[in-house]
Amino acid sequence: MSDQGAAARLEQLRALAQAEDLRPFLRRAIQLHPSDLAEVLAAIDGGARARALAELPVETASKALAELEGRVRHPEELLRAVGPDYVAELVAELPSDDAAAIIRDLPPEEREAVLSEVADRAEVDQILKFPEDSAGGLMTTEVVTVHEHASLVEAIADIRRQSAEDDALYQVYAVDGARRLKGVVPIARLIVASPSRRVHEVMEPPAAAVRPEVDQEQVARLMARYNVAAVPVVDERNRLLGRVTFDDVVDVVEAEATEDLLKFASVSPEEDLSAPWTAAVKSRLPWLYVNLLTAFLAGAVVYVFQGTVSRVVALAVWMPIIAGMGGNAGTQALAVTVRRLALQLLPRDRALAVIRKEVLVGAVNGIANGVAVALVAAAIGEGWVLGLVVLLAMWGNLVVAGLAGASIPIVLERLSIDPAIASSIFVTTFTDVCGFVLLLGLGAWLLL
């Protein structure tokens, strides 16, 4: 379908979902893919959304609810509209990971009311024990297991018993009598292999089993590395707890990319991209104040050199050029280093080599730009001594930029501080201060 067609259809369904008479909407909604229905529901206001979810058949409503993002899901609104019993009924329809995600979004005082109505409460509690962004918090506890010594005929009969309609069943897990994970059987093998073979003959060693505490980014990286659509989660005695599927992880990787870019630009990662202006002010103003404090440092350097600036006012013209170039070069080095740290491409014993490389890049780029500014200074008749001052200041500042851009995030990481957040404020403070000290200090020495 063309994008225009999709947009028009969305608009039409949106209107129907807000109409007085909901029946035309309900008739069409039950034919939609849950993700498409969720898109329609996300585009209408909270009251209409709660009403539509209350009127839809439980099976349709629960799937759509699971596809809604936390931000627009607003289970409180739904709670108010339909009460905890109905919310529990919706939650009960869902796999345990989706159920846990919805319950996590509930206000704490309402959680118990819903949880007490959920039939497989133990499974949901199991997931709620772990942080939202860990393998344990993302996993579903509905896994299909077969005994390692069963024949494939027995295994297939067993799978039929356990899984009514799980389209996301990519692999089944071979376990022993104590539910310890012994191997992984890609589901396709059950069809292709001869039915007389046994599970342990066709299973593979679990390439990428994880403990529930493992971070979601690590899980994503394992899936990409071993090309597996699901990763089993096991406890400290290797007993199978659940599995994380790739679809949870693609969302994770996109969300982390957004977070990393926002942090890099000194925006709190909690700022929702569609947040209202009040939330944006709240997320950004603290960082602007941090930046203001550091900017006073740069101002203080100029304050110290006021006498020099008032006698050689041409230096004021070069201030933003030297500082701006240092900031830009520092940000370049910073971005490369932050990304290497995020992708775990920077082993500890390579840190010094990376800093050395960035200093070298800064020195070479500093010469190239220093000569350029010296030529411009000469061309506009500011004399060769001022030309030499701007050359040296530019060169020195780009060396400092490489040094600060590479080492600040590495040091922050060693101190267990997230190297992405606000690094850029510190790097630009460094280059501002050093740039002014070099420019105005050299100016005071050579020009006065």
Name residues contacting its own copies, limited to 201-230 (CB under 8 A). 204, 207, 220, 223-229
Is residue 256 involved in binding its own copies (CB under 8 A)?
Answer: yes
Site for its own copies in 22-51 (CB under 8 A): 33, 35
Q: Smaller CB distance to its own copies: residue 141 or 369?
A: 369
Q: Smaller CB distance to its own copies: residue 35 or 116?
A: 35
DSSP letter (8 states) at residue 186: E
Going residue by residue from 83 to 112, which x/- string records binding to its own copies, judged by CB under 8 A? ------------------------------
Site for its own copies in 125-164 (CB under 8 A): 156, 159-160, 163-164
Interface segment toward its own copies; rule CB under 8 A; list 17-25, 86-94, 123-131, 275-283: 275-283
8 Å CB contact between 90 and 62:
yes
Q: Is the dihedral of CA 29, 33, 34, 37 positive or negative?
A: negative
Is residue 165 involved in binding its own copies (CB under 8 A)?
Answer: yes
Q: What CA–CA distance (Å, rounded) separates 172 from 155? A: 10
Token representation of residue 43: 């585009």
Least distance from its own copies to the Cβ atom of residue 189, Å: 7
Least distance from its own copies to the Cβ atom of residue 430, Å: 12
Binding-site member from 150, 271, 392, 447 for its own copies (CB under 8 A): 271
Q: Read off φ and ψ for residue 275, nearest 5 degrees.
A: -65, 150
Beta strand pairing status for 145-147 and 230-234?
A: unpaired
Q: What CA–CA distance (Å, rounded) separates 54 from 115? A: 19
Least distance from its own copies to the Cβ atom of residue 433, Å: 9
**What residues form DSSP beta bridges with 140?**
243
8 Å CB contact between 333 and 361:
yes
Binding-site member from 48, 168, 378, 392 for its own copies (CB under 8 A): 168
Q: Smaller CB distance to its own copies: residue 21 or 167?
A: 167
Token representation of residue 213: 């505490």
Binding-site member from 58, 265, 352, 446 for its own copies (CB under 8 A): 265
Q: What CA–CA distance (Å, rounded) separates 229 from 241? A: 17
**DSSP conformation letters of 118-140:** -TTHHHHHHHHTS-TTBHHHH-B
Site for its own copies in 304-343 (CB under 8 A): 306, 309-310, 313-314, 316-321, 323-325, 327-329, 331-332, 334-336, 338-340, 343
Interface segment toward its own copies; rule CB under 8 A; list 13-21, 75-83, 175-183, 246-254: 246-254
Q: Is the dihedral of CA 338, 343, 345, 349 positive or negative?
A: positive
Give the Cβ contact number of residue 29 at 10 Å.
Answer: 24
Is residue 392 involved in binding its own copies (CB under 8 A)?
Answer: no
Is residue 190 involved in binding its own copies (CB under 8 A)?
Answer: yes
Q: What CA–CA distance (Å, rounded) separates 120 from 130? A: 17
Q: Smaller CB distance to its own copies: residue 56 or 406?
A: 406
Q: Read off φ and ψ for residue 161, nearest 5 degrees.
A: -65, -40
Number of residues counted as binding its own copies (CB under 8 A):
112
8 Å CB contact between 308 and 380:
no
DSSP letter (8 states) at residue 275: -
Q: How many residues are recorded in the chain? A: 448
**DSSP conformation letters of 47-62:** HHHHHHHHHS-HHHHH
Least distance from its own copies to the Cβ atom of residue 413, Å: 15
Q: What CA–CA distance (Å, rounded) separates 335 from 339? A: 6
Is residue 355 involved in binding its own copies (CB under 8 A)?
Answer: no
SS3 content of the chain, % helix, strand, coil (to 5): 70, 10, 25
Going residue by residue from 401 to 430, which x/- string records binding to its own copies, judged by CB under 8 A? -----------------------xx--x--
Is residue 273 involved in binding its own copies (CB under 8 A)?
Answer: yes
Q: What CA–CA distance (Å, rounded) separates 16 from 237? A: 53
Interface segment toward its own copies; rule CB under 8 A; list 77-85, 99-107, 130-138, 370-378: 370-378
Token representation of residue 94: 């869902």
Q: Smaller CB distance to its own copies: residue 116 or 310?
A: 310
Is residue 264 involved in binding its own copies (CB under 8 A)?
Answer: yes
Least distance from its own copies to the Cβ atom of residue 80, Å: 28
Binding-site member from 28, 111, 180, 284 for its own copies (CB under 8 A): 284
Is residue 12 involved in binding its own copies (CB under 8 A)?
Answer: no
Least distance from its own copies to the Cβ atom of residue 421, Å: 13
- Max alpha carbon distance in the chain (Å)? 95
Q: Smaller CB distance to its own copies: residue 69 or 85?
A: 69
